[in-house]
Amino acid sequence: MSWDERVARFWAAADDAEPDRMRRDFDALVVERRADDPEVLFERASLEDFLGEEARAIPLYRAALEGGLPDEHRTAATIQLASSLRNVGQPSAAMALLQHVPLDDPLSDAAQAFLSLALLDDAKPGPALRTALHALAPHLRAYGRAIEHYADEVVSPPRARNVVVALVVRDGQVLAEEYTDADGGLYLRAPGGGLEFGERVADGIRRELDEELAADVREARLIAVTENIFTRGRKRGHEIVHVFAVRSDRLEALPFGSRLPVLDSDTHVAWYRLADLSASGPPFYPDGILDLAEQIAADAG
């Protein structure tokens, strides 16, 4: 019996009410294969996931993907890893994985479904619904084009949002995320994101920098709370912004002129000279953030 047939037989007998039996059966299944075999790691991760042990599954999925898991299993492993990350409270990390599943992948619809769930958990109901509707529309026997059209018009309900942002300033330069507006113009934003329910702001800025940039935080000092009300295209926003002066060995070691990818978004962070931003832009958001960055630079001498 082939490996694939034995794996299929194992899963056909799966019962999450018998975790000890399943683990014994799995050990017997893989006894003749290396423990670090990527396919073994993937199936073991799937087992832990099936048994509700997502925290144990996550490092196994990652090891399988990093170890050269065959192409036919990579998308499934990515989706399952993302789902596990979402289930342990890391929706941004899940989004970062799912956004890179190609739309022509056979499992693309599943990836989009899990992405919708992660977006919802990340307090992005509008993008969550848009993503789900765009995945659904091609499969409708009627009204698919209408659903595609209406999906593009979905926006999140207006609400005030608490956010945490980091100012990392070094030698007269500030680290900023790069974005493009509807007209193709560049604008910048301080790294950070939304505060989660029940989360203290000091914990929120550390979590955001870890999720977005895999960055350590040596020091996070709250320096201001500001209000940012804006309109960008069809989107209206209202943010209560908790601004932190942050020291981070990883971020401060980034060479000037380099860019670091933001893990949960299709953008980067890069250094910008404060003097250039003051003189000619590009715009730096949230409002008032440039003045605070200049004050940090002045205090540093």
pLDDT single digits (tens) 267-287? 999 999 999 999 988 999 998
User: Which of 123, 145, 176 is at the close of a domain?
Assistant: 123
pLDDT at 90: 87
The residue-averaged pLDDT of 157-164 equals 89
Cα end-to-end span (Å), the chain: 72
Assign residue 267 the CATH number of its domain: 3.90.79.10
Structural domain including 253 reads: 160-300
User: Which of 76, 98, 123 is at the close of a domain?
Assistant: 123
pLDDT band at 183 (very low <50, low <70, confident <90, very high): confident
pLDDT mean across residues, the chain: 94
CA 199-97-10 angle, to 5 degrees, is: 105
* Same-domain pairing of 296 and 164: yes
For the chain, the domain total comes to 2
User: Which of 123, 151, 171 is at the close of a domain?
Assistant: 123
* Same-domain pairing of 112 and 172: no
pLDDT at 149: 95
Q: Kind and range of the H or E element at 249?
A: helix 249-252
The residue-averaged pLDDT of 21-33 equals 95
Q: Kind and range of the H or E element at 9?
A: helix 3-12
Whether residue 153 is contained in a domain is answered as: no
